[in-house]
Amino acid sequence: MASIKVPVAAADMSGEEEKFVVEAVRSTWVSSTGPFVDSFERTFADICGSDSCVSVCNGTVALHLALLALDVRPGDEVLVPSLTYIATANACRYVGAEPVFVDVDPKTWCIDPNKLESAITRRTRGIIAVHLYGHPADMDAITHLAGVHGLWVVEDAAEAHMAKYRGRPVGGLGTIGTFSFYGNKIFTSGEGGALTVSDRQAELRIRTLRGQGMDPLRRYYFPVTGYNFRLTNVQCAMLCAQLARRDAILAKRNSIFEAYRQSLRSIPGISFHEPADWAEPAPWLFCILIDDKYGMTRDELAARLAGLGIETRPFFLPLHSLPPFREQSRARGEVFPITDELASRGLNLPTYNQMSMDEVAFVVEAIRNASG
Protein backbone atom coordinates (compact mmCIF):
# COMPACT_ATOMS: atom_id res chain seq x y z
CA MET A 1 0.00 0.00 0.00
CA ALA A 2 1.22 3.49 -0.82
CA SER A 3 2.21 5.79 2.00
CA ILE A 4 -0.64 8.04 3.11
CA LYS A 5 -0.64 11.36 1.26
CA VAL A 6 -4.15 12.43 2.22
CA PRO A 7 -5.41 11.04 5.57
CA VAL A 8 -9.10 10.56 6.19
CA ALA A 9 -8.80 12.78 9.29
CA ALA A 10 -6.12 14.74 11.11
CA ALA A 11 -6.18 16.60 14.42
CA ASP A 12 -5.69 20.37 14.12
CA MET A 13 -3.52 21.79 16.90
CA SER A 14 -2.73 25.05 15.10
CA GLY A 15 -4.41 27.38 17.60
CA GLU A 16 -3.56 27.95 21.24
CA GLU A 17 -3.68 24.27 22.18
CA GLU A 18 0.02 24.12 23.09
CA LYS A 19 -0.12 27.38 25.03
CA PHE A 20 -3.15 26.26 27.05
CA VAL A 21 -1.73 22.78 27.70
CA VAL A 22 1.56 24.27 28.93
CA GLU A 23 -0.43 26.63 31.14
CA ALA A 24 -2.31 23.67 32.62
CA VAL A 25 0.91 21.72 33.19
CA ARG A 26 2.70 24.66 34.82
CA SER A 27 -0.28 25.28 37.08
CA THR A 28 0.05 21.63 38.27
CA TRP A 29 -3.72 21.22 37.70
CA VAL A 30 -3.27 18.20 35.46
CA SER A 31 -5.98 15.86 36.76
CA SER A 32 -9.77 16.09 36.68
CA THR A 33 -10.23 19.51 38.27
CA GLY A 34 -9.01 22.93 37.16
CA PRO A 35 -10.02 26.11 35.37
CA PHE A 36 -9.99 24.58 31.88
CA VAL A 37 -12.49 21.90 32.95
CA ASP A 38 -14.83 24.58 34.26
CA SER A 39 -14.34 26.81 31.20
CA PHE A 40 -14.91 23.99 28.73
CA GLU A 41 -18.07 22.78 30.47
CA ARG A 42 -19.58 26.28 30.62
CA THR A 43 -18.74 27.07 27.00
CA PHE A 44 -19.94 23.77 25.59
CA ALA A 45 -23.21 23.93 27.53
CA ASP A 46 -23.85 27.36 26.00
CA ILE A 47 -23.04 26.06 22.51
CA CYS A 48 -25.53 23.21 22.92
CA GLY A 49 -28.26 25.33 24.49
CA SER A 50 -28.29 23.19 27.64
CA ASP A 51 -28.09 24.21 31.27
CA SER A 52 -24.98 22.17 31.99
CA CYS A 53 -22.23 20.04 30.49
CA VAL A 54 -20.31 17.24 32.20
CA SER A 55 -16.94 16.29 30.71
CA VAL A 56 -15.98 12.61 30.62
CA CYS A 57 -13.10 10.49 29.33
CA ASN A 58 -14.70 9.40 26.03
CA GLY A 59 -17.92 9.31 24.06
CA THR A 60 -18.77 5.71 24.91
CA VAL A 61 -18.58 6.56 28.60
CA ALA A 62 -20.93 9.48 27.93
CA LEU A 63 -23.54 7.07 26.56
CA HIS A 64 -22.97 4.66 29.46
CA LEU A 65 -23.43 7.43 32.03
CA ALA A 66 -26.55 8.71 30.27
CA LEU A 67 -28.19 5.29 30.56
CA LEU A 68 -27.11 4.94 34.19
CA ALA A 69 -28.54 8.37 34.99
CA LEU A 70 -31.81 7.35 33.35
CA ASP A 71 -31.93 4.21 35.50
CA VAL A 72 -31.89 1.78 32.58
CA ARG A 73 -31.78 -1.75 33.98
CA PRO A 74 -31.35 -5.38 32.93
CA GLY A 75 -34.32 -6.51 30.86
CA ASP A 76 -35.07 -3.03 29.54
CA GLU A 77 -35.05 -2.32 25.81
CA VAL A 78 -33.61 0.74 24.06
CA LEU A 79 -34.41 1.64 20.45
CA VAL A 80 -31.21 2.22 18.45
CA PRO A 81 -30.53 2.76 14.73
CA SER A 82 -28.78 -0.18 13.13
CA LEU A 83 -26.57 2.16 11.12
CA THR A 84 -24.27 3.67 13.73
CA TYR A 85 -20.98 3.04 15.48
CA ILE A 86 -21.08 0.02 17.80
CA ALA A 87 -20.63 2.12 20.95
CA THR A 88 -24.30 3.14 20.76
CA ALA A 89 -25.44 -0.45 21.20
CA ASN A 90 -22.57 -1.49 23.48
CA ALA A 91 -23.62 1.11 26.05
CA CYS A 92 -27.03 -0.56 26.29
CA ARG A 93 -25.39 -3.87 27.06
CA TYR A 94 -23.19 -2.27 29.74
CA VAL A 95 -26.30 -1.64 31.85
CA GLY A 96 -27.87 -4.99 31.01
CA ALA A 97 -30.40 -3.61 28.53
CA GLU A 98 -31.01 -4.89 25.04
CA PRO A 99 -30.60 -2.64 21.98
CA VAL A 100 -33.55 -3.10 19.62
CA PHE A 101 -32.63 -1.94 16.15
CA VAL A 102 -34.62 0.35 13.87
CA ASP A 103 -33.96 1.09 10.21
CA VAL A 104 -32.81 4.55 9.12
CA ASP A 105 -34.48 7.17 6.98
CA PRO A 106 -33.17 7.16 3.37
CA LYS A 107 -32.87 10.97 3.34
CA THR A 108 -31.36 11.74 6.75
CA TRP A 109 -29.58 8.38 7.30
CA CYS A 110 -30.72 8.70 10.93
CA ILE A 111 -33.23 6.58 12.85
CA ASP A 112 -36.56 6.62 10.99
CA PRO A 113 -39.34 8.11 13.18
CA ASN A 114 -41.94 6.31 11.07
CA LYS A 115 -40.51 2.93 12.07
CA LEU A 116 -40.10 3.58 15.79
CA GLU A 117 -43.63 2.85 17.01
CA SER A 118 -43.71 -0.69 15.65
CA ALA A 119 -40.51 -1.47 17.58
CA ILE A 120 -41.90 -0.34 20.95
CA THR A 121 -42.77 -3.07 23.46
CA ARG A 122 -43.74 -3.06 27.12
CA ARG A 123 -40.00 -3.25 27.94
CA THR A 124 -38.99 -0.21 25.89
CA ARG A 125 -37.57 2.58 28.06
CA GLY A 126 -36.12 5.03 25.57
CA ILE A 127 -34.63 5.97 22.22
CA ILE A 128 -31.05 6.80 21.27
CA ALA A 129 -31.24 9.17 18.31
CA VAL A 130 -27.87 9.22 16.56
CA HIS A 131 -27.00 12.28 14.47
CA LEU A 132 -25.20 10.11 11.94
CA TYR A 133 -22.20 11.53 10.09
CA GLY A 134 -23.12 14.97 11.41
CA HIS A 135 -26.71 15.14 10.08
CA PRO A 136 -29.35 15.74 12.79
CA ALA A 137 -32.08 13.20 13.31
CA ASP A 138 -35.70 14.41 13.01
CA MET A 139 -35.93 15.32 16.68
CA ASP A 140 -39.44 16.80 16.74
CA ALA A 141 -40.96 13.60 15.39
CA ILE A 142 -38.82 11.46 17.68
CA THR A 143 -39.49 13.44 20.86
CA HIS A 144 -43.22 13.61 20.08
CA LEU A 145 -43.44 9.83 19.79
CA ALA A 146 -41.32 9.45 22.93
CA GLY A 147 -43.65 11.76 24.83
CA VAL A 148 -46.73 9.81 23.76
CA HIS A 149 -45.19 6.56 25.03
CA GLY A 150 -43.46 7.96 28.12
CA LEU A 151 -39.93 7.36 26.81
CA TRP A 152 -36.75 9.37 27.20
CA VAL A 153 -34.53 10.40 24.26
CA VAL A 154 -30.74 10.44 24.32
CA GLU A 155 -29.02 12.33 21.50
CA ASP A 156 -25.84 10.58 20.39
CA ALA A 157 -24.13 13.61 18.88
CA ALA A 158 -20.62 12.10 18.82
CA GLU A 159 -20.19 13.10 15.16
CA ALA A 160 -22.32 16.24 15.14
CA HIS A 161 -20.50 19.03 16.96
CA MET A 162 -22.45 22.29 16.48
CA ALA A 163 -24.98 20.81 14.08
CA LYS A 164 -28.41 22.44 14.18
CA TYR A 165 -31.95 21.12 13.90
CA ARG A 166 -34.50 23.74 12.83
CA GLY A 167 -32.10 26.41 14.05
CA ARG A 168 -31.53 24.76 17.43
CA PRO A 169 -28.20 23.19 18.38
CA VAL A 170 -28.03 19.44 18.86
CA GLY A 171 -27.25 18.28 22.38
CA GLY A 172 -30.06 20.28 23.90
CA LEU A 173 -33.01 18.68 22.10
CA GLY A 174 -33.46 15.45 24.02
CA THR A 175 -33.34 14.32 27.63
CA ILE A 176 -29.53 14.06 27.56
CA GLY A 177 -26.97 14.72 24.81
CA THR A 178 -23.68 12.85 24.43
CA PHE A 179 -20.54 13.81 22.51
CA SER A 180 -17.14 12.37 21.59
CA PHE A 181 -13.85 14.24 21.24
CA TYR A 182 -11.86 11.38 19.73
CA GLY A 183 -8.91 12.30 17.51
CA ASN A 184 -10.91 12.28 14.26
CA LYS A 185 -13.70 14.53 15.50
CA ILE A 186 -14.21 18.22 14.66
CA PHE A 187 -13.10 19.15 18.19
CA THR A 188 -10.68 16.75 19.84
CA SER A 189 -8.77 16.12 23.04
CA GLY A 190 -7.36 12.84 21.72
CA GLU A 191 -9.85 10.94 23.82
CA GLY A 192 -12.73 12.68 25.52
CA GLY A 193 -16.45 13.13 25.73
CA ALA A 194 -19.26 15.11 27.31
CA LEU A 195 -22.90 14.95 28.34
CA THR A 196 -25.24 17.92 28.00
CA VAL A 197 -28.27 18.07 30.25
CA SER A 198 -30.80 20.60 31.55
CA ASP A 199 -32.31 18.56 34.38
CA ARG A 200 -30.58 19.40 37.66
CA GLN A 201 -31.25 15.99 39.23
CA ALA A 202 -29.91 14.17 36.18
CA GLU A 203 -26.79 16.35 36.21
CA LEU A 204 -26.19 15.62 39.89
CA ARG A 205 -26.52 11.88 39.29
CA ILE A 206 -24.16 12.04 36.30
CA ARG A 207 -21.53 14.00 38.23
CA THR A 208 -21.81 11.65 41.21
CA LEU A 209 -21.48 8.50 39.11
CA ARG A 210 -18.62 10.02 37.10
CA GLY A 211 -16.56 10.67 40.24
CA GLN A 212 -16.51 7.22 41.90
CA GLY A 213 -19.98 7.81 43.40
CA MET A 214 -18.78 10.39 45.92
CA ASP A 215 -21.29 12.84 47.34
CA PRO A 216 -20.29 16.26 45.90
CA LEU A 217 -21.04 17.88 49.27
CA ARG A 218 -19.37 15.29 51.51
CA ARG A 219 -15.81 14.25 50.66
CA TYR A 220 -15.04 10.52 50.82
CA TYR A 221 -18.68 9.66 51.43
CA PHE A 222 -19.92 7.32 48.71
CA PRO A 223 -23.71 6.79 48.70
CA VAL A 224 -23.61 4.80 45.42
CA THR A 225 -21.20 2.66 43.46
CA GLY A 226 -19.63 4.95 40.90
CA TYR A 227 -17.02 5.05 38.15
CA ASN A 228 -13.87 6.99 37.35
CA PHE A 229 -14.99 8.55 34.09
CA ARG A 230 -13.48 12.03 34.42
CA LEU A 231 -11.66 14.13 31.81
CA THR A 232 -8.47 16.01 32.73
CA ASN A 233 -7.73 19.72 32.91
CA VAL A 234 -4.97 19.18 30.30
CA GLN A 235 -7.42 17.65 27.82
CA CYS A 236 -9.97 20.37 28.47
CA ALA A 237 -7.24 22.93 27.74
CA MET A 238 -7.03 21.52 24.21
CA LEU A 239 -10.80 21.69 23.81
CA CYS A 240 -10.94 25.28 25.10
CA ALA A 241 -8.41 26.31 22.45
CA GLN A 242 -10.49 24.72 19.70
CA LEU A 243 -13.81 26.07 20.90
CA ALA A 244 -12.29 29.56 20.86
CA ARG A 245 -11.90 29.28 17.07
CA ARG A 246 -14.96 27.15 16.43
CA ASP A 247 -16.47 29.46 13.81
CA ALA A 248 -13.26 29.44 11.75
CA ILE A 249 -13.03 25.64 12.03
CA LEU A 250 -16.60 25.15 10.83
CA ALA A 251 -16.15 27.66 8.01
CA LYS A 252 -13.06 25.84 6.72
CA ARG A 253 -14.65 22.41 6.90
CA ASN A 254 -17.83 23.68 5.24
CA SER A 255 -15.70 25.05 2.39
CA ILE A 256 -14.19 21.57 1.96
CA PHE A 257 -17.68 20.05 1.88
CA GLU A 258 -18.79 22.56 -0.75
CA ALA A 259 -15.73 21.89 -2.89
CA TYR A 260 -16.48 18.18 -2.82
CA ARG A 261 -20.12 18.79 -3.74
CA GLN A 262 -19.32 21.02 -6.68
CA SER A 263 -16.61 18.73 -8.04
CA LEU A 264 -18.29 15.34 -7.57
CA ARG A 265 -21.69 16.23 -9.06
CA SER A 266 -20.56 15.48 -12.60
CA ILE A 267 -19.21 11.97 -11.91
CA PRO A 268 -21.75 9.28 -12.91
CA GLY A 269 -22.49 6.79 -10.15
CA ILE A 270 -21.35 9.06 -7.33
CA SER A 271 -23.91 10.73 -5.09
CA PHE A 272 -23.73 12.37 -1.72
CA HIS A 273 -25.84 13.41 1.21
CA GLU A 274 -28.21 16.30 0.51
CA PRO A 275 -29.15 17.81 3.90
CA ALA A 276 -32.79 18.11 4.87
CA ASP A 277 -34.04 21.68 4.51
CA TRP A 278 -34.42 21.90 8.31
CA ALA A 279 -30.89 20.72 9.05
CA GLU A 280 -27.48 22.35 9.39
CA PRO A 281 -25.23 19.30 9.53
CA ALA A 282 -21.85 19.27 11.20
CA PRO A 283 -19.10 19.00 8.53
CA TRP A 284 -17.43 15.92 10.00
CA LEU A 285 -16.52 13.46 7.20
CA PHE A 286 -17.76 13.97 3.65
CA CYS A 287 -19.81 10.93 2.63
CA ILE A 288 -20.44 9.54 -0.84
CA LEU A 289 -22.51 6.66 -2.18
CA ILE A 290 -21.29 4.53 -5.08
CA ASP A 291 -23.83 2.84 -7.37
CA ASP A 292 -23.58 0.53 -10.39
CA LYS A 293 -23.20 3.40 -12.87
CA TYR A 294 -19.77 4.14 -11.46
CA GLY A 295 -18.28 0.92 -12.82
CA MET A 296 -16.75 -0.49 -9.63
CA THR A 297 -17.82 -1.25 -6.11
CA ARG A 298 -17.26 0.87 -3.02
CA ASP A 299 -14.54 -1.49 -1.81
CA GLU A 300 -12.79 -1.51 -5.19
CA LEU A 301 -12.77 2.29 -5.22
CA ALA A 302 -11.41 2.41 -1.68
CA ALA A 303 -8.59 0.06 -2.67
CA ARG A 304 -7.80 2.14 -5.76
CA LEU A 305 -7.65 5.32 -3.66
CA ALA A 306 -5.49 3.62 -1.04
CA GLY A 307 -3.02 2.74 -3.79
CA LEU A 308 -2.69 6.47 -4.48
CA GLY A 309 -2.15 7.29 -0.80
CA ILE A 310 -5.72 8.50 -0.18
CA GLU A 311 -7.17 7.14 3.05
CA THR A 312 -10.93 6.51 3.27
CA ARG A 313 -13.36 4.72 5.56
CA PRO A 314 -16.35 2.54 4.65
CA PHE A 315 -19.65 3.25 6.33
CA PHE A 316 -20.28 1.45 9.61
CA LEU A 317 -21.31 -2.18 9.35
CA PRO A 318 -24.98 -2.69 10.26
CA LEU A 319 -25.18 -3.49 13.96
CA HIS A 320 -27.80 -6.16 13.40
CA SER A 321 -25.25 -8.11 11.34
CA LEU A 322 -22.47 -8.13 13.96
CA PRO A 323 -21.82 -11.19 16.18
CA PRO A 324 -22.80 -9.60 19.54
CA PHE A 325 -26.26 -8.65 18.24
CA ARG A 326 -27.26 -10.68 15.19
CA GLU A 327 -28.81 -13.66 16.97
CA GLN A 328 -31.21 -11.45 18.94
CA SER A 329 -31.97 -9.38 15.85
CA ARG A 330 -32.81 -12.47 13.82
CA ALA A 331 -35.02 -13.76 16.62
CA ARG A 332 -36.99 -10.52 16.48
CA GLY A 333 -37.35 -10.90 12.71
CA GLU A 334 -35.79 -7.50 12.03
CA VAL A 335 -35.20 -6.38 8.44
CA PHE A 336 -33.31 -3.19 7.53
CA PRO A 337 -33.15 -2.58 3.77
CA ILE A 338 -32.06 1.08 3.97
CA THR A 339 -29.34 0.39 6.52
CA ASP A 340 -28.02 -2.55 4.50
CA GLU A 341 -27.94 -0.56 1.27
CA LEU A 342 -26.20 2.49 2.74
CA ALA A 343 -23.68 0.36 4.60
CA SER A 344 -22.70 -1.47 1.41
CA ARG A 345 -22.37 1.65 -0.76
CA GLY A 346 -21.11 4.40 1.55
CA LEU A 347 -17.58 5.80 1.76
CA ASN A 348 -16.12 8.57 3.94
CA LEU A 349 -13.66 10.85 2.14
CA PRO A 350 -10.78 12.76 3.74
CA THR A 351 -12.02 15.77 5.71
CA TYR A 352 -9.89 17.75 8.15
CA ASN A 353 -9.36 21.37 9.10
CA GLN A 354 -6.02 21.86 7.37
CA MET A 355 -6.94 20.07 4.15
CA SER A 356 -6.04 22.19 1.14
CA MET A 357 -8.17 22.71 -1.95
CA ASP A 358 -5.38 21.04 -3.95
CA GLU A 359 -5.81 17.95 -1.80
CA VAL A 360 -9.57 18.02 -2.36
CA ALA A 361 -8.94 18.25 -6.10
CA PHE A 362 -6.47 15.34 -5.90
CA VAL A 363 -9.09 13.15 -4.21
CA VAL A 364 -11.81 14.14 -6.70
CA GLU A 365 -9.61 13.51 -9.74
CA ALA A 366 -8.61 10.13 -8.36
CA ILE A 367 -12.30 9.23 -8.05
CA ARG A 368 -13.02 10.57 -11.53
CA ASN A 369 -10.14 8.68 -13.14
CA ALA A 370 -10.86 5.43 -11.33
CA SER A 371 -14.29 5.20 -12.95
CA GLY A 372 -12.75 5.05 -16.38
Domain residue spans in the chain?
17-244, 246-370
| pLDDT of the residue at 216 | 86
pLDDT beyond 60 at 1: no
Residue 313 bridge partners (DSSP):
348
Enclosing H/E stretch for 155: strand 152-156
Q: What is the DSSP letter of 94?
A: H
Q: Is 158 exposed, middle or buried (0-12, 13-18, 19+ CB in 10 A)?
A: buried
194/216 Cα distance (integer angstroms) = 19
* Backbone φ and ψ of 234, nearest 5°: -65, -45
Contact 358, 350 (CB under 8 A): no
CATH class of 246-370: alpha beta
pLDDT beyond 60 at 213: yes
123 Cβ contact list (under 8 Å, min separation 6): 75, 76, 77, 98
| pLDDT of the residue at 372 | 62
CATH topology identical between 17-244 and 246-370? no
For residue 64, which amino acid is it? H
pLDDT band (50, 70, 90) for residue 371: confident
- CATH code for residues 17-244: 3.40.640.10
- Kindly report, residue by residue over 86-128, the tens digit of the pLDDT: 999 999 999 999 999 999 999 999 999 999 999 999 999 999 9
pLDDT beyond 70 at 366: yes
Other beta carbons within 10 Å of 301 = 22
pTM across the whole model: 0.97
Average pLDDT of the chain is 97
